Structure 1
């Protein structure tokens, strides 16, 4: 019990010292309107909320989510390669990769990835 209390006290002292050191060493920031205002989706939060939303921003966000999920699915595939049947594993990976490539080809051909038209 004493060891737990001693380790918790030591951790609290170290974290407090680190916080104090960071505040004394850090640079002083200037209070600027641009730096102090929140930045959300490229909009100025102090202006009107009735400005049109850019569909390109939405498209890039959706593409990021799709490829982020793709990575989360592909990474475990490499670890299951040794434990699963080779034919089933290769068919699954081939179908998954083909679907992603066809989707990317479709986006490319319909000019969804173009910023300027």
Structure 2
């Protein structure tokens, strides 16, 4: 019980002490150069808030999906030793077939074209 009280009192005293110390320390103000969008010293040439095209995000998303698929399928050789190896094979084939059909659908719709 004494250990729990010591931990609680230490935690509560630190919770009260540290914010008071941080507010009492002198404020440090940033230089004008540090407030620029880029700290290299060069002014940005264009708008920093330009958005990427939607095609870029779609290709990045497809890359992540197929990367995850590969990570899931890499464990398949070790799953063959399970009692239900045919079930594992059917699930993996279904997943690959679904992703292949989805990728061909995206290609036929023209959503993976960079030039618009």
Which aligned pairs between 1:1-117 and structure 2 lie closer than 5 A? Answer: 46=44, 47-117=46-116
Bigger Cα displacement from structure 2, 54-63 vs 65-74: 54-63
TM-score (norm 2): 0.54
Q: What RMSD over aligned residues (CA atoms) do the two structures have, in Å?
A: 2.3
What secondary structure, in the 3-state scheme, does the structure 2 residue paired with 1:111 have?
Answer: coil
Which stretches in structure 2 are left out of the alignment for 5+ residues? 1-38
CA distance in 1, matches of 2:47, 2:83: 56
**2:28 matched residue in structure 1:** none
1:84–1:115: structure 2 CA closer, same or farther, 3 Å change rule?
A: farther
Aligned length: 75
Segments of 5+ residues of structure 1 without an aligned counterpart are 1-35, 38-44
Q: TM-score, normalised by structure 1?
A: 0.54
User: Matched residue of 1:78: which SS?
Assistant: helix
**What secondary structure sits across from 1:66 in the alignment?**
helix
Structure with greater contact order relative to length (CA < 8 Å, sep ≥ 6) = 2
In our comparison, the structure showing a higher alpha carbon Rg is: 2
Q: Distance in 2 between matches of 1:84 and 1:114?
A: 44
